[in-house]
Amino acid sequence: MNHENHSHPHGEGEEPGHPHHEGGHGDDPHRHHHHGEHEHHHPHHEVWELNVQGVIIESRKPEIVVRQAIKEAGFNPDTPWIIVLKVAGEPKREVDLSFVIDLRHKGIEKLRLTPRQINNGEMLGQRRAAFAMLPQDEALLDRLGFDWETLVDAGRRWLIIRNYPLPQGYRIATALIGIEVPVSYPGAQLDMFYCHPPLALPSGAAIPQTQQIETVIGLPFQRWSRHRQWDPARDTLVTHLALVDESLHREVGQ
């Protein structure tokens, strides 16, 4: 193929998103005898690979529908997943089951599946809302099933998400996530995020740029100093939560 693929290797074998060829020089010489005419017209079969939540699947076609990819990886596509496509050098994007992945696109890395939380509604009537988020932000938070609220503490406006699921590799499974929301957001950026209790790795190794502790609503929150370029025309809570997710996964090697 003419495209170079810049995805990172996942386990042994070919890189996900990159074709490899069956029928190379080391094949059984009798193979051509069995396939005869077909081999004459198609000397090589390209097999494209994709990492689906750590499972490498193969496709003989350069395009694959997300539903089919999830099914082939052994997961139930009808489970309410948050499905995120990771492409090297591009922001992560949430996709749906009907999305078609072009495996020829350089940098295709993986599909990440996260179960959507099921909210039983008990907290909805008790939610504190000291200020309103953008309508699309509130719709996103509710769609993801988060237990969230907005509050003002010492003059600072906060979005607090309770029981935020953490990737495996931390000493706890969930945490409170705090995001400071400037009055002029989205013109002003959402920057960094905060965790309570402070997160730690089982190895005891320090997590870079998380040493600062700030008190929010009377609790110690660990500040994760993670930054990126903010574009008010396109960035909102959805892209900032992608930063949160990426940062949490990176520290545990996911």
pTM of the model: 0.54
Stretch (H or E) spanning 175? strand 174-180
pLDDT of residue 44: 56
DSSP symbols for 48-111: EEEEETTEEEEESSSEEEHHHHHHHTT--TTS-EEEEEEETTS--EE--TTPEEETTSTTEEEE
pLDDT of residue 4: 39
pLDDT of residue 99: 93
Averaged pLDDT, groups of 10, the chain, 254 residues long:
40 47 45 41 70 88 93 83 85 88 88 66 59 91 90 93 91 92 93 93 86 91 88 89 90 78
